[in-house]
Chains A and B, each alone.
Chain A
Amino acid sequence: MTGWGVGMGKRIVQITVNGDTTEFLCEPRQTLLEVLRNTLELTGTKEGCSNGNCGACTVLMNGLPVVSCLVLAVEAAGAEVRTIEGVARGSHLDEVQSAFLEGAALQCGICTPGFIMQAEALLARNPQPTEEEIRFYLAGNLCRCTGYDKIVRAVQRAAQLRQAAQQNGRS
C-alpha cells in the first residue's frame, strides 16, 4: 500500500515561471499542469482532457510548446516555463492576445490560453507562416466553438502586427 498516502515522497522542485524562480513541493506522480494550477495557482492554463489530446494546457517549456498534462512536475526541474499569465508585458497585451481579442477569435475562451501559447511558439520559429503552416502547427489544439476561421486569421494578424512592431522598433 504505497503511492496514495498523504505527503508521501514529496520532492522539492525549482523552476522559473514567467521569469520568476520558484520552488514547490510535489509528489512524483503530479503533472506540471496540476502543480501550475493547484500549487502555484496559475489557473490560466486549462485542463480539457488530461491525456494530451486537446492542447488546452499548452505552455512553453524552455521555449518549446508542451502539453503540461503529459509533463511530470519533477521533469520540469530547472526549466524555464512560460504560461498564459506571462504573455502580456505588464498591462500591455502582446500581438497574439490583441489579435485574438480584436478578431473575435474566441467564444467560450477555454481553449484560448492553449492556442495563444501554441501560436507564440509558432511565431517565434516562423514569423510569417502561411495559412497551411498555421493550420498544421495548431492542429493539436482543439476548439469546439469557433470553427477555427477567426483563430487562423488572428494568428495571421498577429504575425503582421509583430512584424510591423519590429520594423517600427528598428526605424
Chain B
Amino acid sequence: MAPDVKQRKYQVIGTRPVRHDGVDKVTGRAKYGADQRLAGMLEGAILRSPHAHARIRRIDTTQAQAMPGVRAIVTAADFPEQGDRIVELGEGMANMRHLSANVMAREKVLYKGHAVAAVAADNVHIAQAAAQRIHVEYEVLPAVTDVRAAMREDSLILNEEIRTQAFGSAPASPDAKPTNIAKHFVFELGDLAQGFGSAEVVIEREFDTSTVHQGYIEPHNATVSWNADDRVTVWMSTQGSFTARQQTAELLQIPVSHVKVVPMEIGGGFGGKISVYLPPVAALLSKKTGRPVRLVMSRADVFQGTGPTPGSHMRVKLGVKRDGTIVAGDAWIAFEAGAYTGSPIGPACMCVFSCYNVPNARVEGFDVCVNKPRTSAYRAPGSTHVAFAIETVVDEICSQIGMDPLTFRLKNAAREGIRRVDGPVYGRVGLEETLAAIQASEHYRTPLPGKYQGRGVASGFWFNVGLKSSVSATVNFDGTVTLVEGSTDIGGTRTSIAMQLAETLGIAVEDVTPTVVDTDSVGYTDVTGGSRVTFATGIAAVEAAKDIQRQLVQRAALLWNVDPSAVRYEAGSVWGPQQQCLRFKELAAELPTTGGPIIGRGTSSEATQGGAFATHCVDVEVDPDLAKVTILRYTAAQDVGTAIHPSYVEGQLQGGVVQGIGWALNEEYSYDDQGAMRNPTFLDYRMPTCYDVPMIDTILVEVPDPQHPYGVRGVGEVPICPPPAAIANAIYQAVGVRMRHLPMSPPRLWAELSKNSS
C-alpha cells in the first residue's frame, strides 16, 4: 500500500461477510432466466442465417406452420418499421432500425447466425424441427470480414444507409456515398510534428486482434407473457432491466410503461447482456398465441448471434527522449463493428495513451461494419485492444533505451493534473501507486532465472461510469432493513450495496436484506456495467440511509419532546440534547406508535467516476517445441479506491485477469473464407480452464475516489486490460520475439519463433 494513503476505519466496509444470495446459489435454489416456468408456457426456437451476407428473397413458413404442436411463427414482417430513429438506451445510443434488424433480419442477413424467423411450439423439440422447415430463399453475397478490406473504396457495402459520421461534425449528408465506415474519430493534443521532431527514439508498430466473445456460461434467455390488456411481462437475465424494458418497448413500439421486466439471476454478462435479442421475439410469439413463450439460446447461437468484441487493426507510434521522457504519440485504430455500427472505438481512442503524460498526441479511430455479429460491450470495451498495442510499444522502447519498464512508467505516469488526449484532466488517480506496488512486490523482486522463462509488466486504464441508480429501504419494526434496488447483481453487489447502507446506519450488514426487483417496483436504474454499481448504486444506498437517519431523528425528537435540530444520528444511535440515546433497533420498535413506517429513498446521477488504473506482472514459460505459453505466476495491482468487500474485489481482479489470459493466448473466432465461424463451441473456442492458470495474486491499492462518500472506485473492468500486453512482454523476455497479433496462440508463436531461428 502506498504510504500517502490514509487508513480509515469502518465497521462494515472492508469486512468479508457471506453474500446475501449465497445460500440460494450453492443449493441450486437461485432462479436464473432459463429456470422460469409458467402455466401454459410454450417454447420457441429461432431460425438463423447459414450465410454471412445475403439478401432475403422469400420466406415460406407454410410447411412449418402445418406441423402439429406449432403455435406461431414470426418474421421481420411482424415487427414495426423503425426508420432511422436514434434512441438513448441507458449506456449509449442506438439506431432503432439497426437494433430491430439485428433482432430479426429484414431485407438482408449480415452475419452467419443472424435471426431470420422464430417458432413457438408445445415443446422445444417441435419448435426446433419446425424452424428447420421454414424455407428461406437467399441471394448469397460475398462476405466482407476484414476491417481493412471493408474500409476500401471499392468494398461491398453492408448497410446502404450508412454515411461516415465524423466525431464532432454535423451528420453526413444522405447524398454522400454509402460506406462501411460508420464513424471517424480524431483527437489531437499539442503539436505532433514538433513532438516527434524532438524525439530521440521513435518506434512505430502495427497490431491485429481477433474477434473474441464475452463467454458467459449462461446463454441468453427470455420468457414473455403478452396479456390481453396489452401489458407485457418479461422474465430474463439481463445486466439492465430498465434498458431491456426500453429496448423491448421501442422495438415493439408500445409504451414503456406497458412493459415490466423481471430480472432473474444472471449467469454472467461482461457487457454482453445489455443489448436485447430475445424479448421482442418472444413477445410477438406470445401476442400471437395468447400464451407465455420462453426462448433460450444454444451455445452456438450465443457465439454466432451475440457479443462479441471487435477484431481490430491498430498502428501505434511513440517518440521519447533518451532519458525516457515521452514527447509524442500517434495512434490509428480501426475496429470491426460487426453488422451494424457501434463498436467501442470512442473509448479505445480515449484509452490508448491514458496511462501516460503524452504532451503531443494524435489519435484517429474508425468504426467499420463487417459481416460478423453486431459487437457489444466487453469488460472495459476497447481498452484491452489498445493496451496490447501501447504497452508492448512501451516495452520495446524500454528495451531499446535500457530502462526498467516500471521506472519508465513511473516517469511518465498519468497523474492528477495531466490532460488526456481527448480532453479531460485527471483528478486524484492511483496509477503511480499500482506501479510502486508492483515494484515493491515480492514477485517483481524475485529473480526468474529459468531458460525460456520471462517476466512482463503492463498497465491499463478504464474510465468507470456513474449514471443513474435508485434504491429504497424500509425500516422493519424489528430493527432490520429491507433494501430494494434496481441493479441486477452479477457478482455480489447486493452485498456491497447493503454494506454501504449498513455502514451509514451503523447496523450489521446481516440486518439488511437486499432484493433486486422488477421495473415496476423501484426507480429507474441504469445497467450493471461500466464498473458502476458499487459506486453509483452505493451512493444511492448511502442517500437512502441518510434519509432514514433524518426521519429517525424526527421520531426521536417526538419521543423526547425536543426540537429535531437538537437530535443527532451517530454510530447506529440517535442522541438527544441530554445525552438520551436510542439505538437503531430500539427506535425501530417505537415506529408503530410514533407515526408508522419509515422508508428511505436514495438516487444517484453521477456524470463520471475518478477512473481505475491497474499494473500487472506476469511470469511465463514458453515450450520451444510446442510454442505453448504457460503462466507461471501472476500478480495484479489495482487502485480500487476503497475495497468494500475485499473478497469480491479480489474476485473481480482474478476473473478479469483470467479472461485477459484467454484473450492473450487462445480465444478467437476462426472464420472460413465464406465468413462462417468454424468454432462455435466451448471445445473449439478455448477459454481458460482452472488447469491452465495458477493462483492470481492481487494487491489492492486504495486511493479513495473523492466523488464517493466512502471513496469507492469501480473495480470490475480494468483488470482485463493489462494481461495480453504483459504476457506479450513476458514472451519477449523468454524467447526474444515480439508478438503483435492476438491471440498469441501456439501456431502464431511458432511462426514467429521459426522466423527468428531461420
Contacts and interface: CB of A to CB of B under 8 A. Distances in A.
Interface of A: 3-6, 27, 29, 37-38, 41-51, 53-54, 56, 83-85, 87-88, 93, 97, 100-104, 106-113, 116, 131, 134-136, 138-153
Interface stretch (B16-24, B152-160, B168-176): B16-24
Highest count of chain B CB atoms <10 Å: which of A107, A108, A113, A142: A108
A136 B125 contact: no
A91 to B, nearest CB: 9
B27 A93 contact: yes
A136 B690 CA distance: 8
Contact of A148 (B21, B298, B690): B690
A139 B490 contact: no
Contacts of B18: 101-102
A60 B648 CA distance: 30
Interface in B641-674: 645, 647-648, 650-652, 654-659
B29 A107 contact: no
Contacts of B69: 4-6
Given A43-B31, A49-B682, A142 B687 contact: yes
Given A108-B491, A135-B690, 6 more contacts: A51-B682, A109-B267, A144-B214, A144-B655, A147-B651, A147-B656
Interface of B: 16, 18-19, 21-23, 25-32, 34-35, 37, 67-69, 122-123, 125-126, 129, 214-219, 265-270, 296, 298-299, 490-492, 645, 647-648, 650-652, 654-659, 681-683, 687-693, 695-696
B655 A146 contact: yes
A11 B19 CA distance: 43
16 contacts: A4-B67, A43-B35, A43-B37, A46-B34, A48-B299, A51-B681, A109-B26, A112-B25, A135-B690, A139-B692, A144-B687, A145-B268, A145-B655, A148-B689, A150-B650, A150-B651
Contacts of A104: 16, 19, 492, 645, 647-648, 650-651
A54 B654 contact: no
Nearest to A48: B217
Looking at chain B's contact residues, is the secondary structure mostly helix, strand, loop, or mixed?
A: loop
Contacts of A50: 298-299
B657 A147 contact: yes
Looking at chain A's contact residues, is the secondary structure mostly helix, strand, loop, or mixed?
A: loop
> Closest 3 A-B residue pairs measured CB to CB?
A44-B28, A110-B267, A147-B654
Highest count of chain B CB atoms <10 Å: which of A4, A112, A139, A141: A4
A136 B691 contact: yes
A108 B26 contact: no
Contact of B690 (A53, A88, A152): A152
B331 to A, nearest CB: 30
Contacts of A134: 690
A108 B270 CA distance: 11
B695 A149 contact: yes
A144 B307 CA distance: 15
Nearest to A114: B217
A46 to B, nearest CB: 7
Contacts of A47: 34, 219, 296
Contacts of B658: 146-148
Contacts of A131: 695
Given A97-B26, A101-B18, A109-B25, A143 B217 contact: yes
Contacts of B647: 103-104, 150
Contact of B217 (A37, A103, A144, A148): A144
Contacts of B654: 146-150
A147 B693 contact: yes
A113 B682 contact: no
Nearest to B492: A107
A108 B218 contact: yes
Contacts of B296: 47
Given A107-B651, A145-B651, A150-B651, A139 B689 contact: yes
B265 A109 contact: yes
Given A53-B682, A56-B217, A144 B270 contact: yes
A132 to B, nearest CB: 9
Contacts of B688: 148
A138 B214 CA distance: 21
A138 B690 CA distance: 7
Nearest to B28: A44
Contacts of B268: 107-108, 110, 144-145
Nearest to A30: B125
Nearest to A43: B35
A91 B269 CA distance: 31
A93 B23 CA distance: 8
A53 B681 contact: yes
Contacts of A37: 35
Nearest to A148: B690
